[in-house]
Amino acid sequence: MANPWRSGLLVAVRFLGLAGPAPAAEDRPRQGGELLFIMPAADPPSSDAHREDTFAVIQPAAPHYLPAQAVLPGMRERGWGRVITTSSIGSLGNIGQANYAASKAGVIGLTKTLALEYAKYGVTVNCIAPGATMTSMLAGVPDKIKEQIIAKIPVGRIADPSEIAAVHCFLASDEAAFITGQVLFVDGGMTVGI
């Protein structure tokens, strides 16, 4: 039987640094940890690549590079693939968050290295670094703290998760074929000038 990781995977999207419990997929127990979203290779990506039913979700417990090791050989063999990692504006550093900043900066370093190694095989590897996003983690933050966060965002609001997801979908599309090794800060302008 062929290894499904090497035969049918076109797009891998890595979400890192979830705080607390997070749903991994339908009919699965809530678990904390990291998510890897996978798009099967039944059809080439198209403008409807964002449809929820095109994604299967797994939850690896291994370090960041193991999912990439699992999916990149098949992408290389087919001569096409998309790997999208997720870091954070926290990669730029913040008082009291050395561990978080280091882990998010490591994701960026891994992204850039994989982009260089796999570009010649038609595989793009990019990273999205979201700013404040209205996730369950941020929803639990007191309003006064949220107001302080919003005051630092030039667009004057917190991102909706769908705005971050839309950037992932763009990077998975054919329209993004010439973009690789990049970090897109999706943060409402928080990192402008840094």
Catalytic residues: 100
Give the distance from CA 162 to its chain's centroid.
13
Give the distance from CA 10 to its chain's centroid.
15
d(CA 189, CA 194): 10
Alpha helices in 20-142 (DSSP H): 65-78, 98-118, 136-139
With 0-12 / 13-18 / 19 or more C-beta atoms within 10 angstroms meaning exposed / middle / buried, residue 60 is middle
